[in-house]
Amino acid sequence: MNQFDKQNPSLFKFGMFYYNKNDADLFVPKPTNTGWTVNFARPGAWVFVGLILVIVVAAEIYFK
């Protein structure tokens, strides 16, 4: 998979969620070159997002 394939707009669901089962990368550059996003077709992406949510919720409960 080359860089051009990762910037294909059809691989972005709703224009912002990268989803490509054929891409083994977990983190991919955004098509506008303004940062990185995760490949939501990879199970690791869901673990990563879940951990962030758990940390945010735990911090909210702990520091309330």
Degrees to nearest 5, angle at CA 39 with 5 and 14: 80
Q: What is the pLDDT of residue 1?
A: 62
Q: Can you give the length of the chain in residues? A: 64
pLDDT at 29: 86
The predicted pLDDT at position 3 comes to: 61
Q: Which two tokens stand for residue 46?
A: 């869901």
pLDDT per residue of the chain (64 residues) written in tens, 0 to 9: 666 577 788 899 998 899 999 999 999 988 887 899 999 999 999 999 999 999 999 999 999 8
**Using an 8 Å Cβ cutoff, are 27 and 37 in contact?**
yes
User: For the whole model, what pTM was predicted?
Assistant: 0.76
